[in-house]
Amino acid sequence: MKNTNTASLLADLREGRNLSTQVQSQLILLLSGPAILAQLSVTIMQLIDAGMAGSLGADAAASIGLVSSSTWLIHGSCTGAVYGFSVQCAQAIGAKDKNAVCLSRQGLYLVLAIGLLIGLLGILLSPYIPVWLGGESSILSDSTKYLAVFCLSLPFVLLNSWAVQMLQSAGNTRLPSLIQIVMCFLDVLFNYLFIFIMDLGVMGAAFGTCLAEVCSSLFLSYHVLFKDPFLKGSLKPHYTRTSIRRAWQIGLPASIEQIITGSSYVMFTRIVSSLGSISIAANSFAITAESLCYMPGYGCAAAASVIIGQCSGAGRIDLQKQMAWRICRIGVFMMTLSGVAMFILAPYLMGMLTPVPEIAQLGIQVLRIEAFAEPMYGASIVITGILRGKGDTFWPAILNLLSIWCVRIPLAALLSVPLGLFGAWIAMNIELNFRGLIFLIRLKKTFSKDSGMKTNTM
């Protein structure tokens, strides 16, 4: 019987063998399944932090919610360094080029340097950021502590991202998912220790997550450096002008995209913060609960980056278009199911996160608004992964800038005045549907030049 595990299917892709429609779908699911679990585990960690800290009261929940958008911005602004080299690794592996080892080392040292630099800057700014965001005086101290601990852990957060992306670029999505699940259990253990046993409150939630990230990042990095068949080898980076230039071309737009997205979350939080602590907490919990629903999109995006990247390296231009549209359809279908589930389960999700009825009820309302945006949001997420696999990070940055800052933020500022948090999330719903549409248009244009090429399926 023919072996149909992930490694063998990717080997067939690299060797130029035919892949039937069924086999293509199988490869997508084999790669996206573990990637979904990995993304889900990260979101569960956020739920753990929010739920355990939320049990301390509305102020504790709001203190984390106030700076959560800032942590996304800080982390996101640094991820370009990861993508700049992980995309090159996937393409090198597809081309059967041993330079993947050197590329992964270059990414490692750059990520650590950026993590230390940005982390230190974040610690210095942590007392001021909650004030700039308009937080109430009762939550400023806890917000500052939570943000400072996050910035302290940033080198390990980025190291974890580097290891996950490198393993995924080599086609190994299973190990990162298993370790991220273990990280969730460690997060629960450490959070309980720091929040309740050591009585550190909100700062304890940050310490718990920090220590869990350290454990995960060190284990996965060891596997990349010494165990993975495509990536193990010398620790010397062997920098080359070509790889640095290519990393800059891929990584800079990717970081700009994340800055565009992250800064919009900060601005959105600033809009919401004027509505009071109940709205801040409900907004934070709803975003965390919603993030459970778009994990299928991110899982498919991770699979897309691997498949499209290795297709590109192997010169399988014929297969790229087929796989791109197939991944997109699968991702949108999964996200549609997630939207339905979110609409139905909204009361249970909010009930897990907060015991405060006012916060829970407001969160349920906005989650049900957002459920109708999940399919098109899924399209934008998956297409970002597809374009990234091709080495195109420029257009996702441009489209996100157009959609978020020209549609979401102005509408949220306008609608939140008469409708409160309800109006802000209506604006988010409109923008996510618009974003999905323009990403689909971009995907069609990207592959239109291949429309006349011969396909290569059985």
Ordered per-residue pLDDT tens for the chain, 458 residues: 344 588 888 999 998 898 999 999 999 999 888 878 777 776 776 666 667 776 777 788 788 878 887 888 898 888 888 999 999 999 999 998 888 898 999 999 999 999 999 999 999 999 999 999 888 888 899 999 999 999 999 999 999 999 999 999 999 988 988 898 898 889 889 988 998 889 888 888 889 989 999 999 999 999 999 999 999 987 776 667 788 888 999 999 999 998 998 888 889 988 998 898 899 889 988 987 888 888 899 989 989 999 999 999 999 988 999 999 999 999 999 999 999 999 999 999 898 878 888 999 999 999 999 999 999 999 999 999 999 999 999 999 999 999 999 999 999 999 999 999 999 999 999 999 999 999 999 999 998 865 444 433 33
pLDDT at residue 343, as a whole number: 96
**214, part of any domain:** yes
Residue 282 is assigned to a structural domain of this protein? yes
Instruction: Output DSSP code: residue 128.
Output: T
Amino acid 237: pLDDT:
65
Helix extents (H) in 274-373: 277-291, 295-314, 317-353, 357-370
Residue 10 corresponds to which amino acid? L
Amino acid sitting at position 255:
S
Q: Residue 2: exposed, middle, or buried by beta-carbon count in 10 A (0-12, 13-18, 19+)?
A: exposed
Structure pTM?
Answer: 0.83
According to DSSP, residue 453 is labeled S
Per-residue model confidence (pLDDT) at position 457: 35
Residue 390's φ and ψ, nearest 5 degrees, are -80, -5
At 152, the amino acid letter reads L
1 in a domain, yes or no? no
In a domain, 123, yes or no: yes
User: Is 458 a domain residue?
Assistant: no
Does 316 fall in a domain? yes
Tokens 């933020």 locate to 409
Q: How many domains does the chain have?
A: 1
Domain membership flag for residue 391: yes
CA distance 233 to 250: 24
**pLDDT for the residue 292:** 80
Coil, helix or strand at residue 132: helix
For the chain, how many residues are written? 458
pLDDT in the model for residue 341: 94
CA of 123: how far to CAs of 63, 73, 126, 151, 273, in Å?
Answer: 16, 14, 5, 6, 22
Counting Cβ atoms within 10 Å, is residue 1 exposed (0-12), middle (13-18) or buried (19+)?
exposed
455 is a domain residue: no
Residue 152 belongs to domain spanning: 6-448
What pLDDT was estimated at residue 301?
Answer: 93
